[in-house]
């Protein structure tokens, strides 16, 4: 089978290396984040061209709130500008836009922009672009557990339902409910860890760690990642 004939349904990107990319050029870290937006655009185009149905990006983790305030403010401003400038094009190309994460920590103005963009593109089905913003895997599992606890406390019948639940029954309580688990998770910049990202959903994802810094990760690199994925033998614990 030709490598590009096996296309993953869901590709997820851990976008790492923006700061180092900027530092190598003697610029402030935020410059790398701005250039990283170009890589997001390139990956969206490549996903549409290759038939990937879900593309998700780890844009800002819960831990990232601990970064210097100036960088956090710059990133939030960049989010607003990127959504405002890209949304019409995404919409015209049939891309559905979603944001997942602990949005209670986001500014009301940013949440308004997010809601507007999500509403505008909600009926599109060529590609779903998911931005994980103020997200962590542990937060996701915890908020799902809290939902389950409230359900179990509602009545004896609900408690019995929760106690008899299997693994698949947990999925609807996650922030990613209705979204297929990622087939492939790619992390750029040479780091080899998940950094608290999609801990439940990535249990059987293929992992690919590349040395390329995120601002240099464009269409060619995205398609190379798909080719690498196509070579993997996914057994899910079974014997073939």
Active-site residues, by number, are: 16, 64
Strand residue runs (E) in the chain: 10-14, 54-61, 95-100, 127-135, 184-187, 206-209
Contact 14, 195 (CB under 8 A): yes
In this structure, what DSSP letter does residue 12 have?
E
Contact 99, 126 (CB under 8 A): no
Angle at 92 between CA 134 and CA 30, to 5 degrees: 35
C-alpha–C-alpha distance, residues 167 and 147, integer Å: 15
C-alpha–C-alpha distance, residues 35 and 42, integer Å: 11
C-alpha–C-alpha distance, residues 32 and 187, integer Å: 16
Intra-chain end-to-end CA distance of the chain, in Å? 17
What single string gives the DSSP state of each residue in 92-112? HTTEEEEEES-GGGS-HHHHH
In this structure, what DSSP letter does residue 190 have?
T
C-alpha–C-alpha distance, residues 239 and 235, integer Å: 7
């Amino acid at each position: 089978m030709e490598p590009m004939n096996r296309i993953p349904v869901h590709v997820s990107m851990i976008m790492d290396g923006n700061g180092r990319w900027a530092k190598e050029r003697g610029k402030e870290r935020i410059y790398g984040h701005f250039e990283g937006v170009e890589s997001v655009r390139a990956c969206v185009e490549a996903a549409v061209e290759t038939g990937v149905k879900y593309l998700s990006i780890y844009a800002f983790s819960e831990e990232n709130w601990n970064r210097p305030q100036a960088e956090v403010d710059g990133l939030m401003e960049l989010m607003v500008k990127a959504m405002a400038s890209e949304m019409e094009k995404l919409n015209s190309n049939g891309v559905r836009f979603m944001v997942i994460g602990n949005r209670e920590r986001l500014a009301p103005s940013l949440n308004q922009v997010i809601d507007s963009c999500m509403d505008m593109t909600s009926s599109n089905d060529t590609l779903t672009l998911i931005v994980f913003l103020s997200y962590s895997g542990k937060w996701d599992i915890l908020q799902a557990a809290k939902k389950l606890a409230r359900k179990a406390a509602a009545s004896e019948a609900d408690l019995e339902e929760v106690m008899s639940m299997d693994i698949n029954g947990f999925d609807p309580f996650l922030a990613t409910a209705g979204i297929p688990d990622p087939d492939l998770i790619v992390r750029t910049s040479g780091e080899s860890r998940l950094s608290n990202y999609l801990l439940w959903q990535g249990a059987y994802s293929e992992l690919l760690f590349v040395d390329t810094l995120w601002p240099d990760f464009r269409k060619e690199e995205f398609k190379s990642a798909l080719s690498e994925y196509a070579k993997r033998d996914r057994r899910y614990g079974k014997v073939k």
